[in-house]
Structure 1
Amino acid sequence: MCNSKIDGRPALQPTINHHSASPDPTKYTKKPTSPSSKTVLKRRNDPNWLTSSSEKPPTPKSAAKQPIVVRKKSKKVFAGGIQGLETMAAAGSIAAAQRDQAFLMKQQRKLRVAQYGRTAAKLQSEVVAVDSVSNGEVNQEEKRCSFITSNSDPLYVAYHDEEWGVPVHDDKILFELLVLSGFQVGLDWTTILKKRKKYSEAFAGFEAEEVAKFTERQISSICLDYGIEQGRIRGVVDNANRILEVTKDFGSLDKYFWNFVNHKPLDPSYKSCRKIPPKTSKSESISKDLVRRGFRSVGPTIIHSFMQAAGLTNDHLLSCPRHHHLLSLH
């Protein structure tokens, strides 16, 4: 019904159009919205809100970048215990042994020894066991001349220790050493020493008078029985005849040879076998005189070998005990 009047009469109206005399002011007042809600609404309406530089989504605290922590490496503890330490010690010993072996091989490459100056130089050096190097021990092989090694034949070692360089004044032994020095060409002293007894039997104990009388039949027989070349046998027979002539001129073969060194052994005092020459000026002068007298197989290298064997020169190294022992003999 309506309260308004039409022609003085009240008009009927819907109830919704009725207004109270004193309406509530808070009933139609808009509630203020918070800024966050506005932002949310704006972001919902803006499709590019995630890429906007002015407004960025809040980052949760849990997603913040953590600082890089550098951890120090802890010292590793060797877990092998005593057994592991023993293994390390063994490895160190092997390494030390390898270094010592490499050193010895280097020394072998450097040292060249000409055996008595007549054969091609051979690579030899003092053989030192690894354990003796570590303990500082010095054995007999180290003291001898360096061409004597632990692999040398015992016969050759005995010859070095007892005969080589010892002054000889017996004519038969001088004749023998002259023959052996000539036969040694192209061979080594070990081979010659092993045949020494056979040579003595073939040449009548190196009696110059007996050898000088050998006939062609005897030379052929010696060649067959002892396997010696006929040319070498004839050379020994010729030298025996020349020795008889020297004996007439000088009284003995001993006086003839020792006159060249004034009856006193030469002492060159070599410190290394590399310093020992295959021949010397003295051996050259003796060789020339022997050739002039008709001797055969008496070149300067052979004569130098003969001088070493007969003690006309003391070619033992200064480090060898035999060098000082031979000096004490005079």
Structure 2
Amino acid sequence: MTAATELAAASDGRIRCAWIDESRLAPADFVLYRDYHDTEWGRPLRDSAALFERVSLEAFQSGLSWLVILRKRENFRRAFHGFDVERIARYTERDIARLMADAGIVRNRAKIEATIANARAAAALADAGVELAELLWSFAPPPRARPAGVADVPAVTPESTAMAKELKRRGFRFVGPTTAYALMQATGMVDDHTADCWVPATSPPSPKTAIAGSLHTEHRR
């Protein structure tokens, strides 16, 4: 399929990536997905706190539709205290029980425990003087042309595989190569809006290559 056959204008006259298909979504879901696509997805995000939320939500999305997570996002924020790293890092079994009883989120114990482990790993990074944003963005590839269509969008790349490996080494869970690439797409490390999509291209900040080298050398020694 070509981009032309994959993309069709929505009722507002704008052409979007094929996964925003108004004809297949309930009106409220289309608005939710449309706004996420138009204003968040693929926009460079360099704030460590915001990135921790994205890492957490991408992990919860594993095996589910992203729309499920979008519908529950505000519930997740409430349940996890705004994804405050320091607070989540101090969660106990009592917090896990509270979260498992919360019907407003995805009640998966392994993913809840992973979020707590990831908060502790992110806190350890900060204690070592490394920003989570700095680490994640060190894996951003050089800019490339937008894909012609969804068939040209990869699910995994060498960079996402390397990111997942490094995050696992540092104690993160539920962030495999596919989840890592979804994170890279969502936070603008790559621009996978398709060529005919109306969303303007953005220029992501260049990776700090010197810092990237220092962040990745420790485990190769």
TM-score, structure 2 length as denominator?
A: 0.81
The answer to whether the 8 A contact 2:164-2:176 is kept is: yes
Q: Distance in 1 between matches of 2:188 and 2:47?
A: 12
C-alpha distance in 2 between matches for 1:169 and 1:328: 10
Aligned partners of 1:220 and 1:230 also within 8 Å: no
Please report how far the alpha carbon of residue 320 of structure 1 lies from its aligned counterpart in structure 2 after TM superposition: 1.5
189, 197, 219: which is aligned to 1:312?
189
Residue 298 (structure 1) shift: 0.9
Report if aligned partners of 2:89, 2:119 keep a CA contact under 8 Å in 1. yes
Q: Matched residue pairs, number?
A: 198
Cα shift readout 1:62-89 (whole Å, capped 9, x = no counterpart): xxxxxxxxxxxxxxxxxxxxxxxxxxxx
| Match for residue 238 of structure 1 among 117, 132, 143 | 117
Q: Does 1:218 find its partner at 2:95?
A: yes
> Which residue of structure 1 aligns with residue 19 of structure 2?
147
In structure 2, C-alpha distance between the alignment counterparts of 1:158 and 1:194, rounded to whole Å: 12
Secondary structure of the residue that 2:76 maps to in structure 1?
helix
TM-score, normalisation: structure 1: 0.55
- String of CA shifts for 1:134-179, please: whole Å, max 9, x gaps: xxxx931xx2112222234210010000000111111121011111
The alignment status of 1:248 with 2:127, answered yes or no, reads yes
SS of residue paired to 2:22: coil
Residue 13 of structure 2 aligns with an amino acid whose one-letter code is N
Correspondence for 2:169: 292
Secondary structure class of the residue paired with 2:128: helix
Compare 194-203 and 249-258 and name the one that shifted more. 249-258
Instruction: Tell me if the contact between 1:316 and 1:323 (Cα under 8 Å) persists in the aligned partners.
Output: no
CA distance in 2, matches of 1:283, 1:304: 5
- Structure 1 residues 6-26: Cα deviation after superposition (integer angstroms, max 9, x where no partner): xxxxxxxxxxxxxxxxxxxxx
Identify the range of structure 1 (238-247 vs 146-155) with the bigger mean alpha-carbon deviation. 146-155
SS at match of 2:135: helix
Give 4+ residue runs of structure 1 displaced > 4 Å after superposition: none
Query: Gaps spanning 5+ residues in structure 2: where?
Result: 207-221
Taking the aligned partners of 2:20 and 2:109, their CA distance within structure 1 comes to: 33
1:207 shift after superposition: 0.6
Q: CA deviation at 1:181?
A: 0.9
Cα gap change, 1:259 to 1:127, in 2 (>3 Å)? closer
Which whole-Å deviations, capped at 9, do the CAs of 1:226-278 have from their partners, x for residues lacking one? 4522222111000100001122334311111112237xx73342111100011
Q: 5+ unaligned residues in a row in structure 1: which ranges?
A: 1-109, 113-123, 130-137
C-alpha change, 1:128 and 1:144, in structure 2 (3 Å) is closer
Equivalent residue, structure 2, for 1:71: none
**Identity over aligned pairs, percent:** 34
